[in-house]
Structures are given as structure tokens and as C-alpha cells.
Structure 1
């Protein structure tokens, strides 16, 4: 399971890249989504690499993300009670593990698929360079976990 975060805004974006990011549901800065690893999504990520960053998310980070920034379609926070009442899982930890293993989707529990995050503490490293060049854009492997923890 991959997590993708939009880093740059909408000004000057080519229309085909803007459409790709809209399909990924990354319409605003600091929005994050969870994406399954398959070739079509990989192509979409590579096409919009100059505006987003992504990497592999782990169980602990996903649990923290759902607990602190997850919202139900009505706008309420996601709690253990909500997960227990509306899914077959008893806690957010179990639900997050099932999401990572692709057994269930966020939408199945009526949870919004987009997480609205804060800007990262201490800021982005640079929004015009790739991650490997000291910036914030593109593929960052496991380092996405530290970025998301700074943004939650």
C-alpha cells in the first residue's frame, strides 16, 4: 500500500497532469490518499511526480493517520466505537491492518478516502527538487512515514 501527498499547488499545471491528480483525488496541497500498488497507479504517480510525493506506508503510521485525520462522510472523526459498530473489526488498529492487506477499503466503512493534513512541521525540504536531490517531490520509499507523522 502506498501513501501519496500533494506538495505543490495548481498554478501552471498541464491539463493532463491536473486530470491525473484529480483521478488520484489529490486536488489540494497537503491532501493524502492511499493507493494500491499496481501498474496503472504507478504510471499515474510517475506522471504527476513533479507535484506529489509518495512511498510505502506501515501499520503504525496508517493507524495514526486514521485516528487523528480520518473523517466519516458526515465530517465526524473516526473512533474505535465507530469502527466497531460499522465494520467487522473491533478497533482502528485491526481495521488499518485489514486496509494494508487490501481486505477492506476505507469507503467500505464510509470513511473519506482523502486525508486533509497540516503542513509539515519545519516545512518541506524544497518543492521544486526531487527527494533524491534534497527536495520533497517524487518517490521517497519509507521516508513518507516521517513526512506523514510531521503532517498529522
Structure 2
């Protein structure tokens, strides 16, 4: 873990304006306390939970530190919609409430001009001005274990494993886990 963080890699200098979905794929066994704190700050408390994050330098640094425990990439519109409609839940008064009613969304996010699920999808897809408010309003997605399992948890995706940056190939994993 230490060598992975210290090792210099060619990083992308320009951050694109697309949301990143982060999926936790490993448990907490043999995990450093700092790594656990980074996962908790991303909102990934359980295995196979997923969250949307805004691509900033700070988030990319966190993802580099927790890379062996997560996989991440850039979801397309279809994957974002399916996740929100199938697995979407809201945080209301510290309770988990399914996103079934637009009145619920209008009460909580109406002051930002977000009145329905489609507005939430639009904010997430375009990393709009109220992206963070929408993400804070939503409970982390609880995905299913993939039917065919994960091939190599310890190895990076580029090296034939599962952890790390998948870029646009994250959509295939989301479809398996949804």
C-alpha cells in the first residue's frame, strides 16, 4: 500500500467535467486506519457501496490512497439513470427513504430548483452547480455482488485485476451489479 502511493505515475493533468462513481470492492481486513478514514470520508462504509464524486485534485488524491479497495470510473447517462431509479435512496432526518415520490425531492432540494428525479440526474450527469447538494441528499448506493464475481481484487484494473481506474468500462460493472 505504501509503495503504491509513493510511486510516481503519469497522471492526467486536466480533470474532465464528468462525474466519477466510486465503488468499494474490498472489506476492512488488514486496512490502515488512515485508509479507513478516507473511505468513510468518501461515504463508502460497506462493501459494494457506491457514490458519485466531483473530480477535483483532492478527490483524486484520496482515490490514489484508497485505490486497492475501490474501483472507479466515468459513468454514462444510462448507468446514472438506472442507479438512481433502481437503487436511489434519500437521506431525510438521518433516515433512508426510497426515491419514489417527486414531492420528497421538491421539499428537500426545491430551493435549488431541483423538483424531480430527472433534475437530479441532470445535475449529476453534467456536474452542475448543485451537484454536491444532490450527492449529499442521496444515500450511498448498495449494489449487488456481481454474478460472476471479481477476478483479482489485489491487482489494478490495468494489470488484469479489479481495483483502480476503469474510466468508461465502469458501466459494464455497474450493469452487472445493478
Question: Per-residue displacement from partner, 1:98-149 (whole Å, max 9, x unpaired)?
Answer: 2222222374487424111111121112211111121110011111111111
* Deviation (angstroms), 1:90: 5.8
Question: Per-residue displacement from partner, 1:11-58 (whole Å, max 9, x unpaired)?
Answer: 100111111111111121101010100100000000110110000112
Alignment correspondent of 2:97: 76
Alignment correspondent of 2:44: 26
Whole-angstrom distance in 1 between the partners of 2:162 and 2:41:
22
What is the root-mean-square deviation of aligned Cα atoms in Å?
2.1
Q: Which runs of 4+ in 1 moved over 3 A?
A: 80-91, 105-111
Distance 1:149 1:80, change over 3 A: farther
Whole-angstrom distance in 2 between the partners of 1:101 and 1:32:
18
- 8 Å CA contact 2:106–2:116 kept in 1: the answer is no
How many residues align structurally? 152
Unaligned runs of 5+ residues in structure 2 are: 1-18
- 8 Å CA contact 2:103–2:115 kept in 1: the answer is no
Alignment correspondent of 1:146: 172
Question: Per-residue displacement from partner, 1:49-85 (whole Å, max 9, x unpaired)?
Answer: 0110000112111110011111122433213634664
Whole-angstrom distance in 2 between the partners of 1:113 and 1:35:
13
